[in-house]
A = this chain, B = another copy of it.
Amino acid sequence: MATVKNWPPTGAVVNLGSSVFARSMRDQGASVYEVLWEPPARGKLELIEILDVLAGREDIEEANRLALERYSSAQPVLVGIGRARDVIPGFGGKMLLHAGPPITWDRMSGPLKGAIVGAIVYEGWAASPEDAEGIAVEGDVEFSPCHEHSAVGPMAGVVSPSMPVFIIENRTAGNRSYCTLNEGLGKVLRYGAYSSEVLDRLRWMADVLAPVLAKGIELSGGIDLKSIIAQALHMGDEVHNRNRAATSLFIRTVAPYLLDTGFPLANIRRVLEFMNGNDHFFLNLSMPAAKAMLEAAHGVPKSTMVTVMSRNGTDFGIKVSGLGAEWFVGPAEKVKGLYFPGFRDEDANPDIGDSSITETAGLGGFAMAAAIPIVQFVGGTPDDALGFSRKMYRITMTENRFFSIPVLGFRGTPTGIDLRKVVETGILPQINTGVAHKDPGIGQVGAGLVTPPWECFEKALLAFAGRYA
């Protein structure tokens, strides 16, 4: 092949960074070559100085290796289903859990308020949605983030004390995580719907679905979620917005055990039908699996690994392994995506849900190259999907040992978001997500792509510097 030498041609202009100058030169008739470039840390000197101080620190590298090893060696296994108030630590009384960082009633978005109202009626604390809202306004119910109880919830993420929840155990470290069972599509509590149809389904889930599944899981001796996720990544899922393969693998794994449960055949049949009718059923297993792996990596002093990314529909919050319980918060952004027929941009609530725990674990948007068909659901092209995964290697610490992407030559998914790399590159984690209607009681209106707000990472880096620099 011929090689191009002497580039750029003599007399041409090379422009670094902003296109403004290039345009102006071009207007004057010059040949301009543009090199894409952004200044580190978005050009903020204070942050650049911190990054310089933190760059060579072997103690931080060592802490990150430990955090990553705890993540990588985690073995999330579905071990059972229990009633939320009986199994979730620190949960009980008139408490409701919700997605994202802490928030008060007055600042909650429509879908979260809707789910709270639904849960209050479901628990029998109020007889009507109006009464439920009154109770919420008056502060008679305590709100607490799922993430502060080793739990996660998709979208509104509301967990009430009598709801059944999956119990996932990390068999390496022994820590457990929790998540409700997925209700399916359409009008569902997690999107803020609370009609009698929604509450009736929740009661059926507690009365029929949960006992049958719980017994089947018990008889199975535990179901290895890490193996299912690894296989599903080779089957077109990224286990955030595409869970068709993982749901299928879960059904075929658990089905034989369901037949041994001794429950009426009609109930077992209905359980199989319910799971078969919902390709997102596994989402509520991929999320707590990711949580169990990441919680094992949390709390390593000096580690810059991001262990939580989560949204409540108003705020986006992150946590960092070396920074303990503190949330670093910024405004939740609007999702760019595809809307279901009849809905549009103005109907959309800002970003909401704990499901970005999948991205935090190197799945979801980080693994989109494994799930190219997802672009038909969240928008974009196959090249975009490949590009998102490739880009995420620039802000992560390693390539996953277990989760790999066939089309990238079986490269491990980009794993372990390094707070320093996000700030240095200005590249924000890529999340794909469902979109809730901004008003309570309506439900999902679409799906798309979103990133956290920059300030979460800026605040976290400043806090990290304050503690460790």
A residues adjacent to B (C-beta < 8 A):
2, 4, 7-9, 231, 234-237, 244-245, 247-249, 251-253, 255-256, 259-260, 265, 268-269, 272-273, 275-276, 372-373, 376, 381-382, 406-410
Contact = CB atoms under 8 A, between A and B. Distances in A.
Contacts of A2: 4, 7-9
Contact of A407 (B255, B260, B273, B382): B382
A252 B269 contact: no
Given A4-B2, A372-B406, A409-B382, A275 B259 contact: no
Contacts of A376: 410
Nearest to A8: B2
A269 B256 contact: yes
A276 B259 contact: no
B276 A268 contact: no
B256 A231 contact: no
Contacts of A406: 236, 372-373, 382
Given A249-B248, A253-B276, A409-B382, A234 B269 contact: no
A2 B251 CA distance: 55
A166 to B, nearest CB: 19
A255 B234 CA distance: 24
16 contacts: A2-B4, A234-B373, A235-B244, A236-B236, A236-B245, A245-B248, A248-B251, A248-B252, A251-B251, A255-B255, A256-B273, A259-B268, A265-B265, A372-B406, A372-B407, A376-B410
Contacts of A272: 252, 255-256, 259
A406 B247 CA distance: 20
Nearest to A369: B407
A426 to B, nearest CB: 25
Nearest to A370: B236
A299 to B, nearest CB: 36
Contact of A269 (B235, B259, B410): B259
A260 B407 CA distance: 41
Contacts of A236: 234-236, 245, 406
A219 to B, nearest CB: 11
Contacts of A381: 409
A252 to B, nearest CB: 5
Nearest to A386: B407
A314 to B, nearest CB: 35
